[in-house]
Amino acid sequence: MTGLRRYRTVVSDSALWAGFRFRDGDVVISTPPKCGTTWMQMLCALLIFDSAELPRPLTEISPWLDATTYDTEAVIAGLESQRHRRFVKTHTPLDGLPFEAGVTYVCVGRDPRDAMLSFEHATANIHPDAIAAGGLDQHDGPPPAEDPLERFREWADAEFTPESAWFGVSLANLVHHVRTFWDRRDSPQVVLFHYADLKADLPGQLGRLATALSIDIARQRLEELATAATFDRMRNRADELAPGVDANLWRSNKDFFRSGTSGQWRDLLDHATIEHYQRRVAELAPPDLAEWLHRGRLR
């Protein structure tokens, strides 16, 4: 782990990757929170098992390896016992992960404004018992503002930090996470997807993933498998697919899959806040990355 940046929050620690032994063919799914992590896990599962029926809940097949809320030794032992191709979840950026030959690193980007609102809905859905059990009610710092516009501005203005007493969620951290992949997007081991592209052409993006993972699959089969990863299908299987179901994390597993839509920020943000946001993005990201984050369509 020498030379890697260490990322720590109240629920994760990237140093836990030191205990994991990679295999040729492993897939690491590394996304900012609420940018399509579970969606990408499902797409990997569909291709690797060539089936919409999973042998176990998704969170057990594809665990969050560096989460501190789980028994890390048990998680790693479970991954060691897997005989199928492994795909592992993390919210650690690429500069905090061991970069191993033969491993594919997948990132999903999303319009940061949508990610921020989705995160707010997700935190409101966390069960109070899970908050207390995980120590999530013990985080330092001032409480979030009651005004949603003020919370948005606080999120936009927060500085990047690899260590956070809460979840490390800010515009700066999201842009930094994606940029660690963007700057290495020409590597054959690095693959970038965008939430909007997945929504626009799920079979086509599933085909992109198959190519990246060197999985030979017919177009007709891609179409069939992609139907299992639509929002409604995944929401109907929430007890099997939502993260944290084994720990009773959510008030409602179905509400983890809240809407799957984009652009809801337009109903919240006024003109001044949008301009403020745009200036902040320009400070954090080069123009090509900023355009891709908001529009997708990687060329």
Residue type, 206: L
pLDDT at 248: 62
Classify residue 191: in a domain, yes or no.
yes
Domain of 184, in residue numbers: 8-295
**Angle formed by the axes of helices 202-212 and 219-226, nearest 10°:** 120
pLDDT at 195: 94
Classify residue 272: in a domain, yes or no.
yes
Classify residue 221: in a domain, yes or no.
yes
Q: Which pLDDT tens digit goes with each residue over 169-228?
A: 899 999 999 999 999 999 999 999 999 999 999 999 999 999 999 999 999 999 999 999
pLDDT at 142: 58
Classify residue 3: in a domain, yes or no.
no
Question: How far from 217 is each of 18, 44, 50, 221, CA to CA, in Å?
Answer: 34, 13, 9, 7
Q: Which residues have CB under 8 Å from 80's CB, separation 6+?
A: 21
Q: What is the DSSP string of 20-55?
A: ----TT-EEEE--TTSSHHHHHHHHHHHHHTSS--S
Q: Which domain CATH number covers 262?
A: 3.40.50.300
pLDDT at 243: 72
Query: Which residue ranges of the chain lie beneath pLDDT 70?
Result: 1-2, 121-144, 165-168, 244-261, 298-299
Alpha helices in 167-246 (DSSP H): 171-182, 195-200, 202-212, 219-226, 231-236, 238-241
pLDDT at 159: 94
Q: Is the pTM of this model over 0.85?
A: yes
Classify residue 158: in a domain, yes or no.
yes
Q: Which residues have CB under 8 Å from 172's CB, separation 6+?
A: 158, 159, 160, 284
pLDDT at 222: 97
Count of the separate structural domains present in the chain: 1
Q: Catalytic residues, which ones?
A: 91
pLDDT at 148: 85
Classify residue 1: in a domain, yes or no.
no
Classify residue 2: in a domain, yes or no.
no
Classify residue 273: in a domain, yes or no.
yes
